[in-house]
Structure 1
Amino acid sequence: MKILQIINNLETGGAEKLLVEIIPLFVKKNVKMDLLMINQIDSPFLKQLTDKNCCEIYSLGFKSLYNPLNIFKIAKYFKSYDIIHVHLFPAQYWVVLAKIITFSKVKLIFTEHSTSNKRIQNRAFIFFERTIYHHYSKVICITQEVKNVLESHIGLSDKYVVIENGVNLENIHLANPLTKSEIHPYIDENDKLLIQVSAFRKEKDQITLIKALQYLSENVKLILVGDGLLRHQNETMVKKMKLEHRVFFLGTRMNVPQLLKTADISILSSHWEGFGLVAVEGMAAGKPVIASNVAGLSNVVNGSGVLFEKGNEKQLGQKIKELLDNNNLYNEVAKRCYERSKQYDINILVKKLMNLYNDLLK
C-alpha cells in the first residue's frame, strides 16, 4: 500500500500536527506513506517529521498556495501511489483538478477539518464545492457535526465517513511538568496558570480569553502558545488592557505536553472548530478543560469539561473562577477530562484509517 498525504504546508495547526504524528505510526505498520506540501515553510512540525527520517517529504516549490501551476506538478505524483489523502484548502481543489486533467484512476480521500469555511457559507460556491467533493472516493469528517454541515450544504451523503481525530496519549502522559518560573520569570509558583494552544486566527478568538482576565484575581495568569497573523492584534489588546504582567506569548513550541501539565486549566475559546485536538490534549494532561460551546468542540468537551457561550468573556471568567475556588469541583472535572481523553487515542484513529484505505483498494 502506497499513500501520499498532501497538505498546504506544515505550519502550526491541528491538521498539520496530526500528520506529523500519524505518518511514523503507519510506516511502523509497513505502509509506505509520504508527504507532499504545496509550499515549504520551515517550521517546528516540518523539522520534527524530517528528524524522524521515516518518509519522503516533497514540496511543489511555488511560494503561492494559489498558483494554478500547482495542478500540473501534483499530477506527476499520481502514478506512484495507490491513494492520495488530502487536507485543507486549496490543496483540496488542486488535487481534484489534477486528477481531472490526467484522467487518473488513483483513489482520492479528503479530510474535512472544520465545520465552517467561506466557500460553504457562500451559495455561489456550492456548484464548485459539490463538484470537488464528488471526485473524492471518501470524505472523512472529524466529527458528526462536520458530517451534518457537509450533508446540509453539499449533499453527497454517501461520500462521508466520520473518523474522529486522535492524540498521542502516551507522549502527554509521560511528559514532566515544568516549574512555572521556567515558562516566564513573571510567573510565580503560587500563581494560577491558564493556557490556550492555538494559532492566532479569527476562529480561535484568544481575545475573549484575554478579556476574561479582568474578572479574575491578579495571580491568575495566561500563556498563549502558537503564532499567526492575528498575534499582533492580541498583543495590542494586552497592552491596551495593561495586562503585560499577566499574559505571555510563547510562540510556537514543541514542548506543549509539558506546558499543558504545568498549567492549571486548559482553555479553547474558539468561534468555531472542526474538532479541537488541543482540548483532548489538555484532558490527557489531567487538567480541567474549558471550551466554547460550538459545534465540533462541544461534542468533545460536553460531559467532561466545562462549556461557555462563545465570545462571552464574563461567563468564561466566571467558569474559570468556579474551578479555581472549588478544589472538589476542580478535581472532579480534571478526572472526567482525563477519562474522556482515552476515547481519542491516536492508535484508534490509525486503525480506522487503515481499514478505510484497505476498503478502497479492494
Structure 2
Amino acid sequence: MKILHIITSLELGGAERLLTELVPYQKKEGNFVKVMILSDKGAVFKKELEDKGIEVIVCKSNSIKSLNNVFCIYNEIEKENYDIVHVHLVHAQYWTSLVRVLDKNKNRKYITTEHSTSNRRRNSKILKLIDSFVFRRFDKIVSISEATETSLKKWLGRDDSSFEIIYNGIDIKEFQNAIPYSKNELGIKEDDYLLMMVSRFHESKNQKGVIDSLKWLPVKYKLIFVGDGKLEKDVKDYCEKNNLTNRVKFLGMRKDIPKLLKTADIVIQYSFFEGFGITAVEAMASGKPVIASDVPGLKQVVSGAGYIVSIDDSKELAKAVLALRSPENYKNISEKCLERSKDYTIEWCANNYLRLYERELKC
C-alpha cells in the first residue's frame, strides 16, 4: 500500500508521538509511507522520523492556517497516487477535507484519527456545522479510546459504521530497557524523591495542580516538568509566586523521554481532559507507578494499575504520592503498571490500522 500520513505538526504531543512509532512499523511491513506536516515549528519528532528512514514533507507555506495547504496536500497525493490518506489533528483534518472534495479518485480512502475527548471548538455552534462537514469527508473515523469516540459521536450527532476504535501503542522495549540518569545529572539529590510530568504546557494540562501538591509533601519531594508550550511562563510564574522554585525544575523540550521516565520515582499525568494518555503508558512501561487524573481517556488506561485522583484536588494527589512511600506498595503498583503497559504495544496498534486500510480498500 501507499500511505500518506498528514498531521498538523510534529511538536510534543500524544498524536505526534504515536506517528514516530506507527509509521516506521508500517514501512517495515513493506508499505510505501510518507508523513506530511503543515508546519515544522517546534517539530521535535521530525528528525526522529527521518532518522528512521521516513520522508517528512513540510507544506511550502509552513503555516497551519494557510489556504495554500490545500494545494500542497492535493499535489502530493496526486504525485504519488496514494491508496490511503490518514489524517491527524484538527488543522490537517480541515484542509484535507477540502482536498477530498477536489480528489477525483474515488478508490482512494481517507482515514482520520481523533486523539482527544475535548477541545475549544466544541463550544461553538458554527464550528459544529463545520466539523460535521469535515468529518463526513472521511471514510473511517478512528478514535483512540471509548471516551474519545463517545465524545465525538455526541458532538457530531452521529452513530454509524464509519466509527472505529484503535488504541494507541508504544515500543514497550524502548522504555523497559532505557538506562536511567543519576538524579544528580538532573540537578536533584540522589536521596530526593523525584516526581515527573511529561506534557505540553497547554490548557488541557494542570501543571499548577501538581505544583500545589508539593505544599502537602515533605521538602525532599522534588518535581520535574518535561515539555514546553505557550503556558510555560505562566506556570513558572505560579511556581515562583508560591515560593517553590527550589523544588521544581523545568527541563523544556527533550528527546530522551525513556531515560527521563526511567529516572523518576513517580510519574504524574494530570490532565483536565485526555484522549488516551500515551505518556502514562510510556511511564508504566518504564516500570514506574503512575498517578493520573480522573478523566475518561486516562482512567481507561491507568485504572486498576496506578492511582486515579481528582483533577481539582491537589491534596488528594499528594496523598497518592505519599501512599507510595511503602516499599511493598511501591513495588506492587509498579508491577501492575508494567503489566498494564503490555496491553498497548505498537505492533498491535499498527497491525490494526493496516487491517483497517485493507478492509477499506476492498469496499
Query: Under a length normalisation based on structure 2, what TM-score does the superposition of the two structures give?
Result: 0.96
- Cα distance, 1:101 vs. partner? 2.8
AA paired with 2:177? L
Deviation string 1:230-281 (CA, Å, 9 cap, x unpaired) is: 1101111111111121100011111111111111100011000000000011
Name the structure 2 match of 1:17.
Answer: 17
Name the structure 2 match of 1:332.
Answer: 332
1:172 aligns with 2:172: no
Deviation string 1:298-329 (CA, Å, 9 cap, x unpaired) is: 111111110111121111111111112x2222
AA paired with 1:194? L
Q: Is the 8 A contact 2:49 2:55 kept in 1?
A: no
AA paired with 1:158? S
Count of aligned pairs: 358
Of residues 201-210 and 17-26 in structure 1, the stretch that sits farther from structure 2 once superposed is 17-26
Of residues 138-147 and 125-134 in structure 1, the stretch that sits farther from structure 2 once superposed is 125-134
Partners in 2 of 1:104 and 1:225 — Cα distance? 44
SS for the counterpart of 1:120 is helix
AA paired with 1:127? L
Q: Is the 8 A contact 1:199 1:227 kept in 2?
A: yes
Deviation string 1:109-142 (CA, Å, 9 cap, x unpaired) is: 0000000012233233222211211110101100
Q: Say which of 113, 116, 120 aligns to 2:115.
A: 113
- Cα distance, 1:343 vs. partner? 0.2
Name the structure 2 match of 1:251.
Answer: 252
Name the structure 2 match of 1:192.
Answer: 193
Partners in 1 of 2:357 and 2:232 — Cα distance? 38
SS for the counterpart of 2:112 is strand
| Ranges of 4+ aligned residues in structure 1 off by more than 3 Å | none
Q: Is the 8 A contact 1:78 1:104 kept in 2?
A: no
SS for the counterpart of 1:291 is strand
Q: Is the 8 A contact 2:192 2:220 kept in 1?
A: yes
- Cα distance, 1:156 vs. partner? 4.1
Partners in 2 of 1:109 and 1:258 — Cα distance? 34
Q: Please show how residues 1-362 of structure 1 align to structure 2 within 5 Å.
A: 1-41=1-41, 43-52=43-52, 54-79=53-78, 80=80, 81-105=82-106, 106-154=108-156, 155-184=158-187, 187-324=188-325, 326-362=326-362
SS for the counterpart of 1:296 is helix
Q: Is the 8 A contact 1:224 1:249 kept in 2?
A: yes
AA paired with 1:73? C
Identity of aligned residues (%): 38
Partners in 1 of 2:253 and 2:126 — Cα distance? 36
AA paired with 1:167? I
Query: Under a length normalisation based on structure 1, what TM-score does the superposition of the two structures give?
Result: 0.96
Partners in 2 of 1:55 and 1:330 — Cα distance? 40
Partners in 2 of 1:113 and 1:43 — Cα distance? 18
Q: Is the 8 A contact 1:2 1:82 kept in 2?
A: yes
Deviation string 1:58-107 (CA, Å, 9 cap, x unpaired) is: 11121431112211221112222111000001110100111213444221
Partners in 1 of 2:103 and 2:282 — Cα distance? 41
Partners in 2 of 1:244 and 1:21 — Cα distance? 35
AA paired with 1:49? L
SS for the counterpart of 2:251 is strand
Change in Cα spacing, 1:102 to 1:345, as seen in structure 2 (3 Å) is: closer
- Cα distance, 1:42 vs. partner? 5.3
Partners in 2 of 1:40 and 1:64 — Cα distance? 8
SS for the counterpart of 2:181 is coil
Q: Is the 8 A contact 1:142 1:162 kept in 2?
A: yes
Partners in 1 of 2:209 and 2:110 — Cα distance? 39
Q: Is the 8 A contact 1:40 1:61 kept in 2?
A: no
Q: Is the 8 A contact 2:9 2:43 kept in 1?
A: no
Partners in 1 of 2:346 and 2:54 — Cα distance? 19
Deviation string 1:145-189 (CA, Å, 9 cap, x unpaired) is: 1111122221143211000000110101110111100111xx111
AA paired with 1:59? V
Partners in 2 of 1:42 and 1:308 — Cα distance? 31
Gaps of at least 5 residues in structure 2 are none
Partners in 2 of 1:115 and 1:104 — Cα distance? 32
SS for the counterpart of 2:260 is helix
Gaps of at least 5 residues in structure 1 are none
